[in-house]
Each structure stands twice: as structure tokens, then as C-alpha cells.
Amino acid sequence: MSGKTEAQKTWGANPTGWTSARDFAPGTLEFFDKAREFRDNVEQPWLADVVPFHEMAGKRVLEIGFGPGYDTLKFLQSGANYTGIDITPENVERTRKHLAFFGYEPDVQQGDAENLPFADATFDVVYSNGVLHHVPDMERAFCEARRVLKPGGQFIVILYNKRSVFYAGLVLVHYLSGRFRRETLAQRRSRIETTTADAAPIVNVYSRNELDEILRKQGFPHSEMAVRKCTPEDLPGSGKFGALYKLIPSPIYNVLGRAAGWYLIARSTKL
């Protein structure tokens, strides 16, 4: 199956954040609130520090890969003129249902990041959080993002960081345990995404230099970059040593997150 089909199966089966909201029925307000609470307080409490939601009022924003609409809500609450596309059809209905609880009717549709259904120079901001490392041709997706941006528009993308504590641990265990004899590293990465589907989505990782090179090649010559996210669950052997890791003070995790976090964030401007 193609990477796109595998992605649809993966996130069609389970909405992003479902593991943190297992006690609630998917699609209920309680489910969305619990998943969003975990995302905002545990997984990505730093998001508003690197993504200027407060500056989005009146701007035309395109989100690529909106999932169940967690960041969609932030954009709409900020006053953005929001549009979203997602390759998974189930996410369209999930987001509409989620945002209806807050009185919004978001402009969301199924779409392909590599073939955006919008005219040139349409948006002030193109944003993607944790999505484009799953597409078969990320360079084409970046090219499309630049095409639909207005001159001076911003491209904000969040990807998995190759130079992270989490990925270093994954690679170390992969080889020291002998798992490399049974599966490739790419196959192991596909299992990072927890799902009930029998699917193997594409999961790529990038260093700062690799991401900067791709951005430059696709017409974004200057990018600001940051890394974030390190939690006890990101450390090697967290299943066995998790209780010990939780004794480590949170400021240390904040420092680790800024130096070698799992998320690599780039902000680029279309000249």
C-alpha cells in the first residue's frame, strides 16, 4: 500500500490523542477536552511560545493535517480566517464535531499536502504540526506550501527531530537488542505512531541541517529553528524506568527539550 493509504488507515482508526483520553467515548466533548488537555499541558505546552497564535487575527491561515482540530481551535479563537486540509476523511468530521462544541463551523476538507487545491498566493500563513514527516514527498509538499503563500507569508512546520533524546534511544535499542535483524529502522519508526489499525505509516526524521537544506531548495532561504519536547516517556527504557525518570525535576526536561527535543520547529518567510 502507498504511504498515503497507510496514513489514512492509521489516523482513520484512531484520532490523534486517543491514548490520553481512553476513558471517554471518541467524539464526545469529554474526549476532546481530555486529549486537548494532555496535548496542551504535557506534550506541547511550549507550542504558543514558538507559534504566534496571538498574531493570527484577520490572517488567512492554511493548516495542513489538522487531525481532530486541536490547533484549529487555537487559530479560530485567535480570530484567524482559517482553512484546513487533511488526507484522512474521518478527521474532517471529527474536527467539525469538535469545533461545534465551541460554536465554530471550520472550513475543513479532505486534501493532499502534495497537491493543494488552492490558487497561488492565497494564504498569509501555512502551518503544519507533526504531519509532513509522514508524506511520501515532503519536498513537493514544501513546494506547494510556498506556492499558495502570499509574498511575505510565513510557513511554520513542526517535524520529528533526528538529533533528539527520544530518537537516539530508539536507535540504540534497535541495534543493541538485535531488532535490526528482524526489521529495518524505517519499519521500527512506523510503530512510533500508536494505533489500532494494521498499518505502517511513513515516519521520517530530520536534523536542523537537513530541514534547512530542504527549505532552501524549495525557496525558503532564511528559517528560524527551534527544538522542543522532552518528557520522561521520551527517555530510553521509559517502560522500565519511568518511575525513576519522573523524579527528575521538570526544569531539566525543559533544558533537554530545547537542546535535543523530539520536535523540530521551523519558521520561514516567502520572499
Number of domains observed in the structure of the chain:
1
Q: Evaluate if residue 203 carries a pLDDT over 60.
A: yes
Residues 241-257: tens digit of each pLDDT: 989 999 999 999 999 99
pLDDT (average), residues 12-26: 92
CA dihedral sign, ordered 263, 96, 104, 144: positive
Is the pLDDT confidence value at 107 over 70? yes
| CATH value at residue 147 | 3.40.50.150
Residue 195: per-residue pLDDT: 82
pTM greater than the 0.85 cutoff = yes
Question: In which order are the strands placed within the sheet that holds 149-160?
Answer: 107-110, 81-86, 60-64, 123-129, 149-160, 263-269, 223-228
For residue 266, the SS3 value is: strand
Residue-level pLDDT at 239: 84
Residue-range definition of the domain harbouring residue 165: 3-269
**How do residues 36-71 score in pLDDT, each as one tens digit?**
999 999 999 999 999 999 999 999 999 999 999 999
| Conformation bin of residue 203: beta by default, left when phi > 0, alpha when psi is -120 to 50 | beta
